[in-house]
């Protein structure tokens, strides 16, 4: 996890020391070191997670010393590969590790593991282009899951050189991640990387809820096939991001809280929790108080709601070569889920453009005075609705939220999700493709 600054202070003790009996094969020493790191929560408990970076670093140093004692008993190329693998266990870049691996791939270009580790080392260094070359070089020699999923991650980090490159790279990223899963459906890391690829796809192309579902399914599969995935803070963090945009707000908060618990040095999960709580606080209050508008202005807005503002949704209209008639309805008469052959008309009483651009969030009041939130995805920046605008929403998809959180917080409101702006009629006119746009989201650089 490279978004985290990890304290590498070496502790001079170990709760579960790595076995370093001289009779063990040196490759087993390295494997035991990785097992020590990966099983840390199971062996030490979550209460000791703050000590993990220092303890892993301490065990790394012990393993390096043991390897040096066995150097004369090892084939030179294999010794350098194992030595580099030990150095590579920590998230920080190591120049010594890069130098060893560079020598290894020159001595034996067929060693796929060396190419993969060298690519990871360049990733840590910030040389994304060199990392990409290493993973592609490995794949030229063998179609292998680690190279595929690593290339998937690198492609999402490449800076586009021309228009359209970003989406192209992310689509390729998804395909490489899918290939890695197909090679080994029981590899949790590959499923996790696929989940991240789908989440990137959600924000780089149409913000389609189905893509979020694919991302969440991949994360769930990662935990199902690999119990160690439950200890991966990045998985919880990125899955929480997917839940947030699926509007499963409590699951998002719980996910970020878990990520923070698994990596207490990581400040971003707590920031995300505060950000979402602030959003829910404000949205809940604005819906409850109908935008906090003065009563006279509010009543004027309600009385100004007229059927003519339905625009093309007033009476019969053609939708995909099919004639459709929508029945006008109020918020209180909507059922949870999609309300087919219904249309909701209201006036905007507030928006939350100061808190979030994705989704663009506002609240409307209908002719009966009821108020609910509207979350609008795929909206171009600067095209949002303002107070007083009339908005007609065909076949509204309604969700009732009732969320309790730490410290006695409770948010209870209803919201309507709109995936595509062009279905809306604003001030009597249907929105056009000019109102559509895509926005990127910040994600953690996934573990390589």
Does some domain include residue 6?
no
pLDDT band at 356, cuts 50/70/90? confident
Q: Give CA separation, 443 vs 38, 236, 272, 421, in Å.
A: 22, 12, 12, 25
pLDDT band at 318, cuts 50/70/90? low
Same domain, 204 and 272: yes
Domain boundary among 232, 249, 280: 280
Domain boundary among 280, 311, 339: 280
Q: Give CA separation, 125 vs 3, 94, 129, 242, in Å.
A: 13, 8, 11, 28
Please calculate the CA angle 427-428-430 and round it to the nearest 5 degrees: 100
pLDDT digits over 168-192, tens only?
Answer: 999 999 999 999 999 999 999 999 9
Supply the mean pLDDT for the chain.
90
Does some domain include residue 173?
yes
Same domain, 102 and 235: yes
Same domain, 249 and 310: no
Q: Please compute the mean of the pLDDT values over residues 51-60 and round it to a whole number.
A: 95
Q: Which residues face 325 on adjacent strands?
A: 316
Does some domain include residue 445?
no
446 or 323: whose pLDDT is higher?
323
Work out the widest C-alpha separation in the chain, in whole angstroms. Answer: 89
Same domain, 314 and 266: no
Same domain, 203 and 314: no
Same domain, 170 and 222: yes
Q: Please compute the mean of the pLDDT values over residues 34-53 and round it to a whole number.
A: 94
Decide: 439 and 358 in contact? Cβ < 8 Å: yes
Separation CA 343–CA 30 (nearest Å): 64
325 or 333: whose pLDDT is higher?
333
Does some domain include residue 140?
yes
Q: Which residues face 393 on adjacent strands?
A: 344
CATH number where 185 lies:
1.25.40.10
pLDDT given at position 320? 64
Decide: 151 and 136 in contact? Cβ < 8 Å: yes
Domain boundary among 245, 280, 315: 280
pLDDT band at 442, cuts 50/70/90? very low
Task: Please give the DSSP secondary-structure letter assigned to residue 205.
Answer: S
Does some domain include residue 9?
no
Q: Please compute the mean of the pLDDT values over residues 290-296 and round it to a whole number.
A: 97
Separation CA 269–CA 282 (nearest Å): 20
Does some domain include residue 15?
no
Q: Please compute the mean of the pLDDT values over residues 417-424 and round it to a whole number.
A: 96
Does some domain include residue 332?
yes
The closest of 175, 409, 224, 223 to 238, measured between CA atoms, is 223
Same domain, 137 and 238: yes
Same domain, 371 and 270: no
Residue 197, domain extent: 26-280
pLDDT given at position 63? 95
CATH number where 387 lies:
2.40.50.550
In 304-357, where does DSSP find H-type helix? none
Same domain, 297 and 398: yes
Same domain, 215 and 136: yes
Separation CA 376–CA 429 (nearest Å): 17
Q: Tokens in use for 166?
A: 């970003």
Same domain, 276 and 377: no
Separation CA 417–CA 375 (nearest Å): 5
Percentage of the chain with pLDDT > 90? Answer: 81
pLDDT given at position 1? 35
Residues 6+ apart with CB under 8 A from 108: 77, 114
Same domain, 269 and 372: no
In the predicted structure, residue 249 carries a pLDDT above the cut 50:
yes
**Number of domains the chain contains:** 2
Decide: 201 and 168 in contact? Cβ < 8 Å: no
Q: Which of 17-26, 204-213, 281-290 has the highest mean pLDDT?
A: 281-290
Does some domain include residue 7?
no
């Amino acid at each position: 996890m490279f978004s985290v600054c990890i304290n590498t202070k070496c502790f001079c003790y170990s709760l579960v020391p790595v076995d370093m009996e001289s009779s063990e094969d040196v490759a087993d020493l390295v494997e035991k070191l990785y097992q020590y790191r990966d099983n840390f929560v199971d062996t030490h408990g979550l209460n000791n997670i703050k000590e993990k970076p220092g303890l892993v670093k301490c065990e790394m140093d012990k393993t390096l010393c043991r390897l040096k004692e066995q150097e004369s008993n090892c084939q030179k190329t294999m010794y350098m590969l194992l030595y580099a693998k030990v150095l590579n266990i920590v998230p920080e870049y190591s120049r010594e590790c890069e130098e060893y691996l560079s020598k290894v791939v020159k001595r034996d270009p067929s060693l796929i593991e060396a190419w993969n580790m060298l690519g990871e080392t360049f990733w840590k260094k910030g040389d994304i282009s060199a990392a990409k070359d290493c993973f592609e070089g490995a794949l030229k020699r063998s179609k292998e899951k680690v190279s595929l999923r690593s290339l998937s991650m690198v492609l999402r980090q490449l800076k586009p050189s021309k228009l359209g490159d970003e989406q192209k790279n992310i689509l390729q990223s998804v395909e490489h991640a899918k290939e890695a899963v197909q090679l080994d459906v029981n590899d949790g890391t590959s499923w996790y990387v696929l989940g991240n690829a789908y989440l990137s796809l959600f924000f780089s192309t149409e913000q389609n809820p189905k893509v979020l579902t694919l991302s969440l399914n991949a994360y769930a599969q990662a935990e199902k096939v690999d119990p160690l995935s439950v200890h991966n803070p990045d998985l919880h963090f990125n899955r929480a991001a997917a839940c947030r945009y699926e509007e499963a707000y409590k699951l998002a908060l719980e996910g970020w809280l878990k990520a923070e618990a698994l990596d207490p040095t990581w400040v971003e999960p707590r920031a995300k929790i505060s950000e979402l709580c602030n959003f829910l606080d404000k949205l809940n209050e604005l819906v409850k108080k109908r935008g906090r508008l003065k009563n006279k202005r509010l009543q004027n807005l309600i009385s100004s709601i007229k059927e003519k503002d339905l625009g093309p949704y007033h009476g019969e209209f053609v939708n995909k070569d099919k004639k459709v008639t929508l029945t006008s309805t109020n918020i209180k008469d909507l059922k949870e889920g999609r309300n087919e052959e219904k249309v909701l008309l209201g006036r905007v009483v507030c928006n939350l453009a100061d808190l979030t651009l994705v989704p663009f969030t506002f609240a409307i009041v209908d002719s009966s005075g009821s108020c609910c939130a509207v979350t609008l995805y795929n909206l171009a920046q600067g095209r949002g609705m303002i107070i007083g605008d009339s908005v007609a929403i065909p076949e509204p998809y309604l969700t009732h939220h009732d969320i309790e959180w730490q410290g006695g917080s409770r948010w209870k409101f209803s919201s309507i999700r709109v995936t595509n702006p062009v279905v809306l009629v604003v001030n009597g006119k249907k929105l056009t493709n000019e109102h559509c746009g895509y926005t990127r989201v910040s994600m953690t650089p996934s573990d390589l």
